[in-house]
Amino acid sequence: MEIKKKFPKQHNYSFDFLRVTAMLGVVLYHSAAAYSFLSPYWAVQDTQHIFGDVLREWLVVFIMPFFFFTAGFFVLPSLRNDTTLQFIWKKIKRLGVYWIFAVLIIIPFFNSKTSEWTGTYFDFWIGSLLSFRDARVGPMAAGQSNNMHFWFISLLLYVDILFAVAYKIIIRFRKSEPGHPPAEKLTLSRLAGFALLTTAVDFLLLVFVPDANWIIVPNVIQVSVIQLPTMLLYFAFGMYAKDKGWFAVDSIPLTLRHWLGISFVATAAYFILGQEFFARLLVSNTLPPVYLFCIALIRSVMLLSYLLTAIAVGSAYFQKRNPALNELAGVSYEIYLVHLFIVVAFQMMFAGMPAIPVAVKIPAVFILSTGVSYVLGKFTIHKHPKISAAVMSILFLVMPLIFGPD
C-alpha cells in the first residue's frame, strides 16, 4: 500500500518570484513574436526589428526551464501524499482538461482564422482533429498545424505522469518511502556538475540537430528538440533539490550580487559570441563543434545563473507574503492559458499603426496583454472554472458558424 499524507503542504512565498518571472517571460516572448525575423510562422507579421530577435533569443534560454524546475520542485510532496492514481487524476484535472478543451475547440478555431481554408468549418474541424497524421520534425512554419502555447500543458502532463510512475517504481523497489530526508548542503561543485551535464547534453544535440527544430505531432506533443532534455533535467533537478532540502533560507552558495554578475557576463558572452549562431539557427548543426560547445556552455551557465539569481531575489526580498506578487503567482497558470489570444489581438491593433516604433509596440503589447490576461484569468477561469469552460465552449462553437470559412 502506498504511503499518504507524509508532508503537509506549505506555501513557499520566495518561489512566487520565480513563477511570476517565468510567466511574464512567456508573455513578453510572445509579445515580441510579431516583430522578430525569427518567427515567420506567427499569426501577425508587423515590422521586424532586431530588438524582437534579441528579446526572443534571450528569453527562450530560461523561461520554460524555469517552469519545469518549479513544477519538479513542488511535485515531490504531492507524490508522497497521494497514490499514483490520485496524483495522475489531479494532474489530468489541472492540465488534461484544458488540453482536451484546446484540442477540441480552441486550436481548430484559432487555426481556421490564420490559415487559408475554403471549405466548411466542420470539415476544417475534422481535419484539425486528424492533423496528428502530419507529424514532422523541423522548424515552425506558417500555415502548418501546431499546438500553439498549449504544447507546454500537454508536455508537462506527460512529464508529471512519467516521473510519478518512475518515482513510485523506485520507492516500491526500496520497500519504503523516505519521510523527512536529512538536508544536504548545496555546493558550488554540485552546481558546476549540473551545469556541465546540461552543457554536454545541449552540445551533443547541437552537433546533430539544428537549434530551430521542433518535434511536432499536432494534438499530441510539440517540443523543441534542443530544449526537451534541458527541461527534463531541470524538472528532475527541482525534484532532487526539494528532496535534499536545497534552496532554503541562505542555502545558495555565493551571494545575489555574485549571481547577478555571473548572469551579466554570461549574457554578454552569449550575444557577442552568438551572432553567427543566431544567423544560422536553421542549419546551426553545420557550425564548428568547438563553437557549438561554447554556445552550449554559455547557455547552460546563463540558465543556471538566472535560476539562482531568481531564487536569491525571492529569498532576499519575498520570504513573507507580498500581496501583489502572490496575487500574480496565484493566477499565473490562468494568465498563461489566455494570454496568447490577447497578445495577438493587441499585435493586430498595433499593426495598423506603422508610425509607432517597435521598441514601443513590444512593451505596450506586453503591458496591455498582461493586464487584460490577469483580469480574464482571475475573474473567469480562476474564480469560476466550470462556468468559464461552459461559456467558452459555447462561444467557440457558435462563432465559427457565424464567422467561419465559407
pTM for this model (two decimals)? 0.90
What pLDDT sits at residue 400?
Answer: 55
What pLDDT sits at residue 362?
Answer: 96
Q: How confident is the model at residue 162 (pLDDT cuts 50, 70, 90)?
A: very high
Q: How confident is the model at residue 181 (pLDDT cuts 50, 70, 90)?
A: low
Cβ–Cβ under 8 Å, residues 219 and 131: yes
What pLDDT sits at residue 1?
Answer: 45
pLDDT at 279 over 50: yes
What lies within 8 Å, CB to CB, of 263 at 6+ separation is 302, 305, 306, 309
pLDDT at 405 over 50: no
Q: How confident is the model at residue 119 (pLDDT cuts 50, 70, 90)?
A: confident
What pLDDT sits at residue 395?
Answer: 62
pLDDT at 288 over 90: yes
Q: What is the per-residue pLDDT across 8-41, written as a single tens digit (0 to 9) for each?
A: 556 677 789 999 999 999 999 999 999 999 888 8
List C-alpha distances in Å: 107 to 26, 100, 218, 276, 333: 19, 10, 10, 35, 18
Q: How confident is the model at residue 406 (pLDDT cuts 50, 70, 90)?
A: very low
Cβ–Cβ under 8 Å, residues 376 and 89: no
C-alpha grid cell for residue 126? 475534422
Tell me the average pLDDT across 54-80. Answer: 93
pLDDT at 149 over 50: yes
- Max CA-CA distance within the chain? 68
Closest alpha carbon to 41 in 230, 222, 276? 222
CA distance 57 to 63: 11
On average, the pLDDT of the chain sits at 87
Q: What is the per-residue pLDDT across 227-273, written as a single tens digit (0 to 9) for each?
A: 999 999 999 999 999 888 888 755 788 899 999 999 999 999 999 99
Tell me the average pLDDT across 167-189. Answer: 72
Cβ–Cβ under 8 Å, residues 150 and 102: yes
Cβ–Cβ under 8 Å, residues 215 and 137: yes
Beta bridge partners of 138: 214
Q: How confident is the model at residue 312 (pLDDT cuts 50, 70, 90)?
A: very high
What pLDDT sits at residue 3?
Answer: 47
What pLDDT sits at residue 28?
Answer: 97
CA distance 114 to 136: 20
Terminal CA-to-CA distance of the chain, rounded, Å? 58
What pLDDT sits at residue 244?
Answer: 86
pLDDT at 111 over 50: yes
